[in-house]
């Protein structure tokens, strides 16, 4: 058994920023445990540009963005364990990890959960048909092409128009494959407008809204898929099926925070985010266990992951030094038109300069406003031309609002007409 | 010319009219849309990010990009020019992999630091 101040599980963008935050806050022994052979996480395979606009005021590719953090971590007296996977985590913050050199037990004063997220697989969709090779998630294909230098196929169909699916449509087209179509169950895409224009329109790839894959054909290798239109209750309309011959089907149908270890440690999860329920300090229901990044809730921008994770790391260091994060808190509640608000509770006494709320709306709404109420009293109203579920919203509440109301019990955020 | 704005989820469908030096944009909800429509109409450019083959490293592909955006019509020329290009680790971010790619005047540069692994 060895002891560390802060153990960070996962060396992707969240883990890297958390490590820097913990170190900056004065933690002595900071350990980053990464399962892969290198740091950087999913950014290693996100070779397209568009990262870091908020943080660095320039557009970087994924590997360039992570390299800036990796450089700081490696020069910052932070220990990293690569090729090491955490198998167990207890609520006592003792963790068991395995690597080529065997099993080790680590006792941490504080733990940061930064395991990222996973893609929803075929099994979660109930698509009827055979089980040939050639069907994979968009992220798996992304790893094949961008890291292993292998093409998954020559004729592709993509189900789901999330950003990874759109990015992969362009990537396959650039590498000489033909992308026949992107089918999207919903009447709108959850992907960014920029990706629809630059990844599909630029390459003449059709986006079929209100369509889904209803059949899969082929024995050893995928030979084709059948795509049908769906009605307003998302059920396939009989007679609209169309066969698309293809050898590859990519799935881009949602991301789920990865929390097997969190559950093991007794951390309470939210059904709305799939991630841990945290307070204003990113502490989960298990004292001394903090969460950030896509393991906490799925982000669209890595810049926000880095911001959040740095704070989580700072707080983990503070916990390791003996600061307690419990105490009477106001619950944060999603009101009308809001799917979830992060964090789930706020202790007004822990709010420093200001408090950032991050949230997603349930459906697209134009000419609307986000309204924040503290114990029924409206304290903030932010108008915008359009709110969309695919874009995480950020609200900053001044520390003054909390200083004046040290005993509030309820903060509600809702989406209202302008 | 019809252009969909990419600046925000509004996705304004814009109509651009060019008569001589005058470019007029309609259908945009804000000024960012007009600026985008004008650029997109006069000289649409894109960053190209792809990979080249990599030797002596733990990974098989090196991510690269155009150092600056290139004309939209040159995207495939740039990718074709990289076919068959093979580099050896170690590589640093910013290393020029192919200068003046496909006659665009823009270099292809590495976007990842890769150590030597024989």
Minimal CA separation from A50 to chain B, in Å: 10
Query: Could you give the CA distance from residue A283 to residue A110 in angstroms, rounded to a whole number?
Result: 10
Burial profile A313-352: b = 16 or more Cβ within 10 angstroms, e = fewer? bbbbbbbbeeeebeeebbebbbbebbebbbbbbbbbebbe
Are B60 and A150 a contacting pair at CB < 8 A? yes
Asked if B53 and B99 sit in the same domain, the reply is yes
- The enclosing domain of B88 has a CATH number of 3.10.530.10
**Same domain assignment for residues B53 and B34:** no
Backbone CA torsion sign across B3, B6, B12, B17: negative
Number of inter-chain CB pairs under 8 A, A vs B: 89
Shared-domain flag, residues B25 and B65: no
Residues B35 and B62 in one domain: no
**Cβ–Cβ of B60/A63 closer than 8 Å?**
no
Query: Tell me, what's the ipTM?
Result: 0.93
Give the 3-state secondary structure of chain A. CEEEEEEEECCCHHHHHHHHHHHHCCCCCEEEECCCCCCCHHHHHCCCEEECHHHHCCCEEHHHHHHHHHHHHHCCCCEEECCCEEEEECCCCEEEEEECCEEEEEEEEEEEECCCEEECCHHHCCCCCCCCECEEEHHHHHHHHHCCCCCCCCEEEEECCCHHHHHHHHHHHHCCCEEEEEEECCCCCCCCHHHHHHHHHHHCCCEEECEEEEEEECCCECCEEEEEEECCCCCECCCCCEEEECCEEEECCCEEECCHHHHHCCCCECCCCCCECCECCCECCCCCEEECHHHCCCCCCHHHHHHHHHHHHHHHHHHHCCCCCCCCCEEEEECCCEEEEECCEECHHHCCCEEEEEEEECCCEEEEEEEEEECCEEEEEEEEEEECCCCCEEEEEEHHHHHCCCCCCEEEEEEEEC
Answer whether A150 touches B (CB < 8 Å).
Answer: yes
Do A115 and A126 share a domain, yes or no? no
Nearest CA distance, B15 vs chain A (angstrom): 15
Domain boundary among A230, A253, A276: A253
Subunit contact A38:B58, Cβ cutoff 8 A: yes
A193 vs B4: CB contact, 8 Å cut-off?
Answer: yes
CATH number of the CATH domain containing A67:
3.50.50.60
Between A38, A149, A193, which is nearest B60 by CB? A149
B58 and B90 both lie in a single domain: yes
Best residue in B4, B7, B11 to probe A by mutation, most A CBs within 10 Å? B11
Read off the tokens for A284.
Answer: 């989960």
Say if the Cβ atoms of A67 and B59 lie within 8 Å. Answer: no
Domain of A383, in residue numbers? 327-418
Last residue of one domain, picked from the residues A225, A253, A281: A253
User: CA of B54: which chain A residue's CA is closest?
Assistant: A149
Q: Clarify whether residues B37 and B63 are in a common domain.
A: no
Choose among B61, B86, B67, B66: nearest CA to B76: B66
B24 located within any domain = yes
Same domain assignment for residues A276 and A291: yes
With contacts defined as CB-CB under 8 Å, which chain A residues touch B27?
none
A37 contacts B46? CB cut-off 8 A: no
Domain that holds residue B26: 2-42
What's the rounded Cα separation, in Å, for the pair A77 and A23? Answer: 8
Residue B116 lies in a domain: no
- pLDDT per position in chain A (418 positions), as tens? 999 999 999 999 999 999 999 999 999 999 999 999 999 999 999 999 999 988 998 999 999 999 999 999 999 999 999 999 999 999 999 999 999 999 999 999 999 999 999 999 998 888 888 899 999 999 999 999 999 999 999 999 999 999 999 999 999 999 999 999 999 999 999 888 899 999 999 999 999 999 999 999 999 999 999 999 999 999 999 999 999 999 999 999 999 999 999 999 999 999 999 999 999 999 999 999 999 999 999 999 999 999 999 999 999 999 999 999 888 899 999 999 999 999 999 999 999 889 999 999 999 999 999 999 999 999 999 999 899 988 899 999 999 999 999 999 999 999 999 8
Verify that B55 and B106 share a domain, yes or no.
Answer: yes
Q: Are residues A18 and A134 in the same domain?
A: no
The verdict on B9 and B56 lying in the same domain is: no
Alpha carbon A149 to chain centroid, angstroms: 25
B contacts of A49 (beta carbons < 8 Å): 47, 49, 65
Which one of A280, A309, A326 terminates a domain? A326
Residue A129 shares a structural domain with residue A242: yes
Please check whether residue A202 touches B, CB under 8 A: yes
Interchain CB distance below 8 Å, B5 and A201 = no
A130 and A249 assigned to the same domain: yes
Instruction: Give A-chain residues touching B51 at CB under 8 angstroms.
Output: 47, 145-146, 149
Q: Is A166 on the interface with B (CB under 8 A)?
A: no
- Based on the fold, state whether residues A277 and A310 are members of the same structural domain: yes
Question: Looking at the 3D structure of chain A, how many domains does it have?
Answer: 3
Residues A150 and A231 in one domain: yes
Q: Answer whether A389's CB lies under 8 Å from A361's CB.
A: yes
Q: Do A386 and B10 touch (CB under 8 A)?
A: yes
Tell me how many domains chain B contains.
Answer: 2
Same domain, B24 and B53: no
**Exposed, middle or buried: residue B89 (CB in 10 Å: 0-12, 13-18, 19+)?**
middle
Under an 8 A CB cutoff, do B7 and A193 touch? yes
């Amino acid at each position: 058994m060895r002891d560390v101040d802060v153990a960070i599980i996962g060396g992707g963008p969240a883990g890297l920023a958390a490590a820097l935050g913990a170190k900056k806050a004065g933690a002595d022994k900071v350990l980053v445990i990464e399962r892969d052979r290198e740091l950087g996480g999913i950014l290693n395979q996100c070779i397209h540009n568009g990262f870091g606009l908020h943080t660095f005021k320039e557009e970087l590719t994924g590997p360039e963005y992570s390299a800036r953090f990796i450089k700081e971590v490696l020069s910052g007296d932070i220990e990293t364990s690569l090729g090491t996977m955490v198998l167990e985590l207890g609520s006592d913050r003792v963790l068991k990890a395995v690597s080529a050199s065997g099993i080790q037990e680590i006792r941490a004063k504080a733990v940061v959960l930064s395991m990222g997220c996973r893609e929803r697989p075929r099994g979660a969709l109930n698509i009827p048909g055979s089980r040939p090779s050639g069907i994979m998630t968009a992220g798996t294909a992304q790893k094949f092409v961008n890291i292993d230098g292998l093409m998954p196929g020559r004729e592709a169909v993509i189900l789901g128009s999330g950003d990874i699916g759109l990015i992969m449509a362009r990537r396959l087209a650039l590498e000489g494959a033909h992308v026949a179509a992107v089918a999207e169950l919903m009447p709108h895409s959850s992907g960014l407008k920029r990706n629809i224009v630059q990844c599909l329109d630029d390459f003449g790839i059709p986006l079929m809204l209100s369509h889904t894959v209803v059949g899969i054909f082929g024995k050893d290798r995928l030979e084709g898929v059948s795509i049908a239109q769906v009605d307003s209750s998302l059920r396939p309309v009989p007679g609209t099926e169309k066969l698309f011959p293809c050898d590859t089907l990519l799935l881009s149908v949602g991301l789920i925070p990865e929390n097997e270890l969190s559950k093991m440690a007794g951390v309470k999860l939210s059904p709305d985010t799939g991630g841990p329920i945290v307070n204003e300090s990113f502490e989960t229901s298990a004292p001394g266990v903090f969460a950030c990044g896509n393991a906490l809730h799925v982000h669209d921008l890595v810049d926000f992951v880095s911001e959040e994770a740095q704070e989580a790391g700072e707080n983990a260091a503070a916990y390791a030094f003996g600061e307690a994060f419990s105490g009477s808190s106001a619950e944060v509640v999603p009101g009308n038109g809001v799917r979830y608000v992060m964090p789930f509770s706020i202790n007004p006494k822990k709010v420093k300069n200001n408090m950032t709320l991050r949230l997603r709306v349930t459906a697209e709404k134009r000419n609307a406003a986000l309204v924040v109420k503290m114990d029924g009293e409206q304290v903030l109203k932010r108008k915008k031309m359009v709110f969309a579920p695919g874009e995480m919203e950020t609200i900053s509440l001044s520390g003054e609002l909390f200083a004046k109301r040290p005993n509030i019990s309820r903060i509600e955020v809702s989406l209202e007409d302008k | 010319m019809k252009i969909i704005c990419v600046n925000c989820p509004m996705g304004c469908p814009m109509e651009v009219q060019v008569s001589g030096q005058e470019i007029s944009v309609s259908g945009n909800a804000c000024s960012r849309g007009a600026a985008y429509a004008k650029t997109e109409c006069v000289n649409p450019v894109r960053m190209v990010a792809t990979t080249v083959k990599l030797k002596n490293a733990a990974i098989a592909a090196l991510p690269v990009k155009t150092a600056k955006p290139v004309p939209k019509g040159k995207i495939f020329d740039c990718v074709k020019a990289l076919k068959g290009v093979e580099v050896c680790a170690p590589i640093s971010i910013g290393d020029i992999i192919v200068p003046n790619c496909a006659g665009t005047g823009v270099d292809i540069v590495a976007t990842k630091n890769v150590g030597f692994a024989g």
